[in-house]
Amino acid sequence: MSKFVSFQPLYEPLTVPLPLYFLICRSQGDGEMAEMGLKIVDGTELRSGDLRLPITGGAVNGKRAVEMAEAEAAARLYGLSLPDPLRSGVLRRLGSGTDSFLSMEFSDDELKKKIQEYLLALADELEDDPLVVSILDGSVLRVFLDDEDDFAMVAENVFTDMDTNDTGKLSKSKMQNVLAHMGVEMGVPPFSASGDLLNNILKRHGAEGEEQLGQAQFAQLLQPILQDIADALAEKHVAVIQNIKVINGSKLKKVACAICEEGERTTDGRTV
């Protein structure tokens, strides 16, 4: 069976208890989960003391402090960009409204302390609600690029999917849609998460314009494009958040404690 068959899209969000998830990863160390590079981000990487990135001298405002803290977090979290709800949650944990925090001024000493506080608040937020990310490093693409039969099947399947009018032809300009169609499950990062990487590679290979390609020509163009993407990802990984929900027990414990506290309150002079 082709290796390509194992890379199927995750159409529905998954709810995975944390211990079970790690059990799955260990039991399939060289299988689908490992090859897709899925990792749970629970804030552990943010709790070490020393900052990795240098701090610029002079006083800075809260907006710049957040940018520096997020850059430090990204350096520890595979270059991940934080979702807006997560960023807002961190500011709430710091006891500051977004506007008030961004307008504050911090000296050098205050800045280092504030960045460390931000990282710990982010770690707490991730501990309560971990993220599952795919670390795209080119390995998934190389699985079928290194096997002629696998690549031929991938190219045929993708061509058929994209040839919605059954003309047996695709224009070069469709190659951008092809990469979007292949997606994270096949090791291709989204355009939104990869900067100019994909567009630059497409331009380098002349994948633009309305020239029509048959299936064989399409495969000949697709292969070097995917190879360049794999090489680029090997040099600089891209992290993409997956729509997978992890239950780690942290929030459940808080809910249970809240219920217990509620039960201990008195009603009509009696303990419930």
Torsion from C-alpha of 45, 10, 199, 170, nearest 10 degrees: 170
| Average of per-residue pLDDT values in the chain | 79
Check residues 65 and 218 and name the one with the higher pLDDT: 218
Do 50 and 101 lie in a common domain?
yes
Q: Examine residue 227 and state whether it is found in any structural domain, yes or no.
A: yes
Asked if pLDDT for residue 240 goes beyond 80, the answer is: yes
Asked if pLDDT for residue 16 goes beyond 60, the answer is: no
d(CA 164, CA 114): 54
In percent, the amount of the chain with pLDDT more than 70 equals 74
Confidence of residue 82 (pLDDT cuts 50, 70, 90): confident
Check residues 71 and 35 and name the one with the higher pLDDT: 71
Confidence of residue 159 (pLDDT cuts 50, 70, 90): very high
**Residue carrying structure tokens 């500011």:** 91
Q: Which domain holds residue 217?
A: 3-13+135-239
Q: Examine residue 22 and state whether it is found in any structural domain, yes or no.
A: no
Do 190 and 204 lie in a common domain?
yes
Do 244 and 129 lie in a common domain?
yes
Q: Examine residue 271 and state whether it is found in any structural domain, yes or no.
A: no
Q: What is the Cβ-side half-sphere exposure of residue 12, based on CA atoms within 13 angstroms?
A: 3
From 43-47, 79-83, 228-232, the region with the lowest mean pLDDT: 79-83
Do 144 and 65 lie in a common domain?
no
